Amino acid sequence: MATPTKSETMFEEVIDQQLGRRSFLKLTALGIVSAAAATLPAEIAEAAKEAVTKRKFRYGMVIDLRRCVNCKACTIACKLENKTPPGVEYNPVIEEEIGEYPYVKRNWFPKPCFHCENPPCTNVCPVSATYKRPEDGIVVVDYKKCIGCRYCITACPYGARYFDFGENYPAQETDYGKILSPEFKGEYGLRKEGKSPDGNVRKCTFCLHLQDEKGHYSRPPACSETCMAKAIHFGDFGENSDGGCITHQDCNLKQLLVARRWIRLKEELGTEPNVYYLM
């Protein structure tokens, strides 16, 4: 048997790195399905094919830390958009002071849920209440199902999940309390004590209530839309996408990732976050 040439091996390595294990597995799955399709009735084969290619979008963010000015407007916009109670923070700005006077600096970054490709939080749920949506990869919690055991909070390496203790801002007593929550397209409406999402685990949904029926965003998530520095770019990283940013017409997410240096948090865990930070 001929041994592979050096260039062949290198090519394989590159493919391996670029594709990643997941995509490889998916391709393998697709291969198996296609192979099965040859022997199965057409309808079943079609259904199986659809199951594998169900993913239409891979929504994510590219956050430009050079642009971010730590104004925290994203945190506020998120609060107002999703009407989250105190202690439930879908997009806080993490801040840290480094060094000692006179050599001091501050680091900060907005931190939404990263909607990881391999979310460690979903598998731990004992009742499958939290899951990664097959069509767009957004990680959600089904408030009707969640029993509030908080296992997923412990499993998230990024602190993106929060328990709703049923606490309220004083404004809840005013007319503010009569505004329906748009979360999950208004499914949970007015906030009532002891009723979901009170007693549930909550997290950023990439404002999925702003999607239309086909999964396209009518306007970008509140944090991204409000950012005056244009630091939060939101869009689709999916295979079928051209990488165009939904928030800002003049930028392209895929191009940004090629042109700039970026990091994802705790990359070593293999969670594959869908939120990139430009350095």
Q: Which residues contribute to the site for another protein (CB under 8 A)? A: 75, 86-89, 92-96, 107-108, 111, 120, 123-129, 145-151, 153-159, 161-167, 193-194, 196, 198-201, 265, 269
Of the pair 30, 93, the CB lying nearest another protein is at 93
Q: Which amino acid is at 233?
A: H
- Cα angle at 148 between 87 and 118, to 5 degrees? 85
Smallest gap, in angstroms, from Cβ of residue 145 to another protein? 6
Of the pair 252, 271, the CB lying nearest another protein is at 271
Residues 59 and 241 sit within 8 Å (Cβ to Cβ): no
Cis, peptide link before residue 112, omega less than 30° from 0: no
Smallest gap, in angstroms, from Cβ of residue 177 to another protein? 18
CA distance 23 to 43: 25
Of the pair 121, 278, the CB lying nearest another protein is at 121
Smallest gap, in angstroms, from Cβ of residue 194 to another protein? 6
Of the pair 57, 163, the CB lying nearest another protein is at 163
Of the pair 196, 211, the CB lying nearest another protein is at 196
Of the pair 140, 253, the CB lying nearest another protein is at 140
Residues 150 and 186 sit within 8 Å (Cβ to Cβ): no
Q: Which amino acid is at 8?
A: E
The conformation of residue 252, written as its DSSP 8-state character, comes to B
Smallest gap, in angstroms, from Cβ of residue 167 to another protein? 7
DSSP per residue, 33-91: HHHHHHHS-HHHHHHHHHHHT-----EEEEEETTT-----HHHHHHHHHHTPPTT--SS
Smallest gap, in angstroms, from Cβ of residue 90 to another protein? 11
* Residues facing 108 on adjacent strands: 95
Smallest gap, in angstroms, from Cβ of residue 187 to another protein? 16
Residues 246 and 264 sit within 8 Å (Cβ to Cβ): no
